[in-house]
């Protein structure tokens, strides 16, 4: 069985996490712009820095990783993986910016402050980047370390060792700056920490960092061994985790044996790591729906395009407006303010438009399905469609003719169909639960093939969310009406059973005793003569009359022929007892006992009303069975004018039939008088 849920239906909303993640990605873009500017400054001064091709590769890695991080934070803000990705990329890009800034100040002679300080921070910043990567591996994919004390200790060790190693390297270990700035001293070095064991402590801290980095990679392997689902999800991340320590060792070795290429080796190692880990996440998500790949890919594309467009718009407004206003290329504060406000205003509508474009281009089936549901919702609002069309519409949108729609009823804690009847969800079939604003709304029982298309299911149910809620309320009303109908039917059945009990009591009790008393009187009469015999004869006649009245009363309460001979025979007997001419034409069909009783007593009361009030001379009782519905017509030639009014006899007949799902209609007869039609379902 495969069960899907819709805790986050459709595309992500523009939440605080979305805004913060997007802003963070823009910060990384800003750092890239600063890198480009400083690279140009250094190359103009003849300093050997990265080529533009290398910078382009570095930029692609940072932009792609930022898009991955922003997408994850927008979808899963409570899982720290996305935030760790963004933070690692920010520190990595900041490291390059600080390094280029230091060279521009110290080697190119730019009159900017803090060049040596920036270079000193850059020399140790790589440890914090590695610490974030280690924590990222440890808590991937659910935001928590694997169960077990050793992994909790690993998390604490990472949180302590990497910042401590960064601080020690910044203030104690590096008395001089790294090549090509070895001629300059580290201005942040603390003289009190300069003793013979400083470098040993620094080496031990770095080895400790490397040990925890290996431990975080081992945590991925531990998750990989736990079960098959984790194994499929983490296969690509395990590959990245295995490569990571090896890459760091190679880069360190190259830096030790050949310091002149140390910076290039370190930059290459970090770039490879920061590309490999997000790429492994993307592979895991795309192949095994970890975090739901469709939503992730969509968000990544949208955030990447949105970031690029907003940066381009901001730059165009600021640079263009400043050039026009001042003529000297300096930035105008007014232009900056206008650009900021415009970018803020464009973010939400532009993101919505980009999401629509991505859906139309990359998820055509989902786009068409949502459009079909939206059209149905519009027809429903225009009263050109009904709620009964909801399930067929969803079935067409999802391409699943076997689709079943169940609507949640909180009062009973169960699902119902649209008509309010109970629905049992087959646990062997795939089903998709729909939740809106934290409340359960519906369930779609669908073909298992749709399990591989969560975006389609979520997008369709998101588009139909309001319609599904209306359908749920409609089904709730119908379910309550069904409960009322069932309650009325129980009341009628209770009255019917009470009638049978009274009939049995009269037949087996009072009637039998009266018959026995009559026999005793006849025996006594045979032994007497004269006045006493005459008195006994009178008593016997009165007793016989009483027996007949009790028999008629019992027959009226529940005729024995109804059970023994059926409805048609009972109505023939009724016609014989009626003082008017009654013509009966009812098919001799076998009916359930309660249905036959409801039909019989309805006809009895209708005939009694005619006799009492209609001043008729003839009555016609006709019936037929059509599509499991018994239709009985009682027609008279009386004065007419009968109506169904509150508290009247015909209202009682209508209520009796309604309890069984039937109905009563009263109309004027074509030949004068009144026609009463009773329709009573009698199917299985």
- Cα–Cα dist 272/265, whole Å: 10
Would you say residue 413 lies in a domain?
Answer: yes
Edge-to-edge strand order for the sheet containing 663-668? Answer: 581-585, 618-626, 629-636, 674-681, 663-668
Question: Whose CA is closest to 474, among 387, 379, 384?
Answer: 387
335-372 per-position pLDDT tens digit = 666 666 776 677 677 777 777 776 666 667 777 888 88
Would you say residue 5 lies in a domain?
Answer: no
Supply angle C-alpha 476, 477, 482, rounded to 5.
95
Which residue do the tokens 């009904």 mark? 386
Collapsing DSSP states into helix, strand and coil, what is residue 547?
Answer: helix
- Cα–Cα dist 288/171, whole Å: 46
Q: End-to-end CA distance of the chain, in Å? A: 33
Note down the domain range covering 594: 563-681
Residues 457, 328 share a domain: no
Last residue of a domain, one of 514, 535, 556: 556
CATH number of the domain encompassing residue 61: 1.20.1070
89-144 per-position pLDDT tens digit = 899 899 889 989 999 888 888 889 988 999 999 888 989 988 998 898 888 777 88
Last residue of a domain, one of 462, 482, 502: 482
Residues 141, 45 share a domain: yes
- Cα–Cα dist 101/38, whole Å: 6
Would you say residue 39 lies in a domain?
Answer: yes
Answer for the pair 629, 681: CB distance below 8 angstroms, yes or no: yes
Residues 302, 285 share a domain: no
Please state the pTM of the whole predicted model.
0.47
Residues 349, 223 share a domain: no
Q: What is the pLDDT of residue 567?
A: 83
Question: Which residues, in sequence order, are CB contacts of 25 under 8 Å at separation 6+?
Answer: 66, 67, 69, 70, 86, 303, 307
Residues 672, 527 share a domain: no
Would you say residue 281 lies in a domain?
Answer: yes
Q: How far is CA 116 from CA 31, 84, 103, 502, in A?
A: 19, 28, 9, 109
Q: What is the pLDDT of residue 514?
A: 65
Residues 155, 287 share a domain: yes
Residues 209, 98 share a domain: yes
Residues 511, 464 share a domain: no
Would you say residue 137 lies in a domain?
Answer: yes
Q: What is the pLDDT of residue 453?
A: 75
The stretches in the chain having pLDDT less than 50 are: 1-13, 257, 261-262, 286-293, 326-329
Question: Which residues, in sequence order, are CB contacts of 402 under 8 Å at separation 6+?
Answer: 395, 446, 447
Domains held by the chain: number: 5
Residues 443, 422 share a domain: yes
CATH number of the domain encompassing residue 621: 3.30.565.10
Would you say residue 379 lies in a domain?
Answer: no
User: CA torsion sign, 582 to 583 to 588 to 593?
Assistant: negative
Would you say residue 411 lies in a domain?
Answer: yes
Which residue do the tokens 């749920």 mark? 472
Which residue do the tokens 């990679």 mark? 217
- Cα–Cα dist 128/209, whole Å: 10
What angle do the packed helices 149-168 and 115-139 form, to 10 degrees? Answer: 170
Residues 607, 571 share a domain: yes
Last residue of a domain, one of 530, 556, 582: 556
Residues 423, 550 share a domain: no
User: CA torsion sign, 8 to 12 to 15 to 20?
Assistant: positive
Residue 278, classified by CB atoms within 10 Å of its CB into exposed (0-12), middle (13-18) or buried (19+), is buried
Question: Which residues, in sequence order, are CB contacts of 583 under 8 Å at separation 6+?
Answer: 575, 618, 619, 620, 621
Residues 591, 534 share a domain: no
Q: What are the structure tokens assigned to 426, written together?
A: 């087959």
Residue 176 per-residue DSSP state: B
Q: What are the structure tokens assigned to 328, written together?
A: 């000297």
Q: What are the structure tokens assigned to 294, written together?
A: 């469709």
Would you say residue 353 lies in a domain?
Answer: yes
- Beta strand 618-626 with 674-681 is unpaired
Answer for the pair 17, 74: CB distance below 8 angstroms, yes or no: yes
Q: Which residues pair with 409 in a beta bridge?
A: 414
Q: What percent of the chain has pLDDT over 70?
A: 64
């Amino acid at each position: 069985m495969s069960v899907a849920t819709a805790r986050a239906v459709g595309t992500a909303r523009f939440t605080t996490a979305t805004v913060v993640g997007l802003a963070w990605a823009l910060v990384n873009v800003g750092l890239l712009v600063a890198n480009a500017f400083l690279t140009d400054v250094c190359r103009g001064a003849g300093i050997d820095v990265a080529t533009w091709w290398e910078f382009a590769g570095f930029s692609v890695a940072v932009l792609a990783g930022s898009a991955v991080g922003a997408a994850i934070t927008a979808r899963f803000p409570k899982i720290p993986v996305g935030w760790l990705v963004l933070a690692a990329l920010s520190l990595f890009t900041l490291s390059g910016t600080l390094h280029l800034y230091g060279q521009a100040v110290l080697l190119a002679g730019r009159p900017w402050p803090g060049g040596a300080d920036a270079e000193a921070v850059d020399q140790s910043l790589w440890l914090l980047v590695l610490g974030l990567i280690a924590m990222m591996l440890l808590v991937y994919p659910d935001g928590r370390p694997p169960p077990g004390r050793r992994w909790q200790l690993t998390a604490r060790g990472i949180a302590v060792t990497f910042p401590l190693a960064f601080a020690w390297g910044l203030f104690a270990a590096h008395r001089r700056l790294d090549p090509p700035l070895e001629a300059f001293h580290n201005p942040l070095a603390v003289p009190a920490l300069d003793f013979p064991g400083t470098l040993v402590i620094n080496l031990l801290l770095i080895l400790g960092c490397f040990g925890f980095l290996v431990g975080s990679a081992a945590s991925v392997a531990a998750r990989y061994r736990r079960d098959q689902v984790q194994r499929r999800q983490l296969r690509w991340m395990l590959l990245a985790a295995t490569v990571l320590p090896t890459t760091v060792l190679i880069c360190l070795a190259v830096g030790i044996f050949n310091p002149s290429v140390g910076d290039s080796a370190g930059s290459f190692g970090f770039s490879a790591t920061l590309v490999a880990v997000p790429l492994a996440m993307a592979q895991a998500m795309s192949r095994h729906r970890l975090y739901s790949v469709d939503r992730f890919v969509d968000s990544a594309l949208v955030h990447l395009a949105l970031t690029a467009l907003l940066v381009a718009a901001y730059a165009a407004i600021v640079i263009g407006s400043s050039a026009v206003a001042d003529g000297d290329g300096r930035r105008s504060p007014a232009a900056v303010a206008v650009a900021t406000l415009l970018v803020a205003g464009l973010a939400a509508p532009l993101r919505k438009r980009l999401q629509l474009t991505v859906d139309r281009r990359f998820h055509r089936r989902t786009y068409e399905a949502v459009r079909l549901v939206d059209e149905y919702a519009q027809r429903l609002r225009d009263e050109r469609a009904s709620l009964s069309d909801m399930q067929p519409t969803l079935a067409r949108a999802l391409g699943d003719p076997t689709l079943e729609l169940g609507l949640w009823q909180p009062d009973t804690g169960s699902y119902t169909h649209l008509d309010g009847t109970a629905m049992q969800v087959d646990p062997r079939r795939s089903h998709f639960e729909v939740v809106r604003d934290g409340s359960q709304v519906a369930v779609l029982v669908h073909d298992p093939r749709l399990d591989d298309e969560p975006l389609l299911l979520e997008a369709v149910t998101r588009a139909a969310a309001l319609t599904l809620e209306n359908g749920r309320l409609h089904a709730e009303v119908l379910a309550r009406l069904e409960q009322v109908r069932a309650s009325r039917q129980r009341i009628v059945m209770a009255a019917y059973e009470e009638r049978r009990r009274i009939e049995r009591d009269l037949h087996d009790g009072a009637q039998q005793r009266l018959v026995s008393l009559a026999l005793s009187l006849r025996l006594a009469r045979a032994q007497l003569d004269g006045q006493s015999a005459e008195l006994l004869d009178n008593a016997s006649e009165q007793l016989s009359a009483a027996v007949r009245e009790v028999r008629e009363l019992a027959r009226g309460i529940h005729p024995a022929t109804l059970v023994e001979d059926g409805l048609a025979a009972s109505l023939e007997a009724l016609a014989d007892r009626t003082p008017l001419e009654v013509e009966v034409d009812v098919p001799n069909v076998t009916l359930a006992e309660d249905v036959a009783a409801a039909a019989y007593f309805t006809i009895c009361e209708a005939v009694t009303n005619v006799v009492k009030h209609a001043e008729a001379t003839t009555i016609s009782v006709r019936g037929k069975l059509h599509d499991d519905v018994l239709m009985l017509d009682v027609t008279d030639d009386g004065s007419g004018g009968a109506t169904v009014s509150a508290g009247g006899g015909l209202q009682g007949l209508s209520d009796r039939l309604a309890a069984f799902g039937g109905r009563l209609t009263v109309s004027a007869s074509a030949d004068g008088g009144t026609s009463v039609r009773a329709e009573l379902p009698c199917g299985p």
